[in-house]
Amino acid sequence: MKALIVHAHPEPRSFSTALMSTAVEELRHQGHEVQVSDLYAMGFNPVASSADFNQRANPDYCVYALEQRHGVDTGTLAADIQAELDKLLWCDLLILNFPLFWCSTPAIMKGWIDRVLVSGKVYGGKRFYSQGGLKGKRALVSLTLGGQEHMFAADGVHGPMKDMLKHLLQGTLAYTGMDVLPPFIGWHIPYITQDARRTYLESWRTRLQSLEEEAALAYPMAI
């Protein structure tokens, strides 16, 4: 298996980074190939703009998705986008690893999604859900947050985490054709003990050992 881990945390000593490192170690131990895009360490530019295209379909007015399609067709996407797109197309498993920021991904990861999941290759036209450009690949979200698990129960103050992450799990990952596995969540991380963090890391390691047997979440099929 070929795995791409896209990691977004500004602190190299964070627990989120420990999750990333554990995944790299465990997957390679299993004999899988692994690439990592550490977005903060890379200084990845999250801002989608007309500068993302070395040649423009319409120099006078930027319709971003149409320029993405032109960039795909002509091989003129910006070099940093093309490099990440190559990794994405290479992998069988995509892991997005991040701390929850305001019920979503950090801005730098949202920028990776905006710029790298290009129209004309990943989505667009009839490329969505079961016909998405990333069909046949699997996706797994691993995230950390300060909230406690009971706050995300069906009757909790926030409601189910799957609802909070619908924009990502369904609206992004499943929409592009990937089989989306249930997320791995580190609850209440800033406030728990080191022993509790170690327990989470072992649970994460065990989870990674059984991915082949996991069923994907159910999402709509393309019409």
The whole-number mean pLDDT for each consecutive block of 10 residues of the chain, a chain of 223 residues, reads: 98 97 98 98 98 97 97 98 98 98 96 98 94 96 95 90 94 97 96 96 97 91 68
Contact by Cβ (8 Å): 161, 183: yes
Q: What CATH number is associated with residue 94?
A: 3.40.50.360
Instruction: Give the total number of structural domains in the chain.
Output: 1
pLDDT score recorded for residue 222: 67
Q: Residue 178 carries which DSSP code?
A: P
Residue 148 lies in a domain: yes
Residue 221 lies in a domain: no
Token couple for 8: 């977004």
Residue 75 lies in a domain: yes
- Which of 197-201's residues contact partners 24+ apart within 8 Å by CB, and which partners? 197/15, 197/18, 200/15, 200/19, 201/18, 201/19, 201/22
Residue 170 lies in a domain: yes
Contact by Cβ (8 Å): 159, 152: yes
**pTM here?**
0.96
pLDDT score recorded for residue 93: 98
Contact by Cβ (8 Å): 91, 4: yes
Residue 220 lies in a domain: no
Cα–Cα distance list, 189 to 19, 140, 163, 198 (Å): 12, 19, 21, 11
Q: How far apart are CA 37 and CA 168, in angstroms?
A: 18
- Beta-strand pair 33-38/93-99: unpaired
Write out the residue range of the structural domain in which residue 94 sits. Answer: 2-213
pLDDT score recorded for residue 220: 80
Residue 219 lies in a domain: no
Residue 222 lies in a domain: no
Residue 81 lies in a domain: yes
